[in-house]
Amino acid sequence: MSCTLYLIRHGQSLGNVAKAFLGHTDLDLSELGYRQAECTAKFLIQRKIDTVYSSDLLRAYNTCSEYLKLSNKTAIKDQNLREIFAGSWENNTFDTLQTVFNDTYSVWLNDIGNAHPNDGEPVKDLTQRVIKCITKIAEENDGKSVAIFTHATVIRSFFNYAYGNSADSMKNLRWATNASVSIAEFDNGKFSVIDYSIDDFLSDLKTSFPANV
């Protein structure tokens, strides 16, 4: 038996529009983000999804809610699926981070697997949090397919691990786009990658981070 995992990044958030590093700052989706979430819901409804989990932050849960409307399912909220806690970086623009926290933010830009937001959560700690959480979900849903609505750094760090890469190699994996779907499989205690950041179904609604993230 195995578990298929669909990891969905939230749609464009108000923080994305402001080009700000939200972390745990709890802002909603933008109008475009809701339209993206509707497209993602239509993509997922064509798949066999047994169980749904979501970060409890608004931008992830409200992306999830669009799928829940179509599927008539309920979602399990889990704080361990939250974005990285960014400490002093929270809700600052990316331009500000490059100016005020240049030394530490440069590590984020150039060696993200070893980055540590000022007064925040190290990426390595986030990775361990996420691996533990998703492993538990996969073990509890053996033989099922699971949708997990979450965040960019969660997805990037988890899939870097699933690819079998070290923290030093995380810089080589691109960000998943807003409202994209990434697929992994858990079998015999190991993760494998099926696909990463599927977003063709979004057509001209695709959005991603600017270059300085």
- Express each pLDDT in 103-147 by its tens digit: 999 999 999 999 999 999 999 999 999 999 999 999 999 999 999
In a 10 Å sphere around its CB, with 0-12 CB exposed, 13-18 middle and 19+ buried, how is residue 36 labelled?
Answer: buried
- Express each pLDDT in 174-191 by its tens digit: 999 999 999 999 999 999
Average pLDDT over residues 56-67: 98
Q: How many CB atoms lie within 10 A of CB 167?
A: 18
Mean predicted lDDT score pLDDT of the chain:
98
Residue 102 to residue 171: CA distance in whole angstroms: 18
Reply yes or no on whether the pLDDT at 198 is more than 90: yes
Reply yes or no on whether the pLDDT at 1 is more than 90: no
Residue 99 to residue 115: CA distance in whole angstroms: 17
Q: Running DSSP on this structure, what letter comes out for residue 185?
A: E
Reply yes or no on whether the pLDDT at 69 is more than 90: yes
Domain residues of the chain, as ranges? Answer: 2-205
Residue 91 to residue 206: CA distance in whole angstroms: 23
CATH of 2-205, one of 3.20.20.240, 3.40.50.1240, 3.20.20.110, 3.30.1330.60: 3.40.50.1240
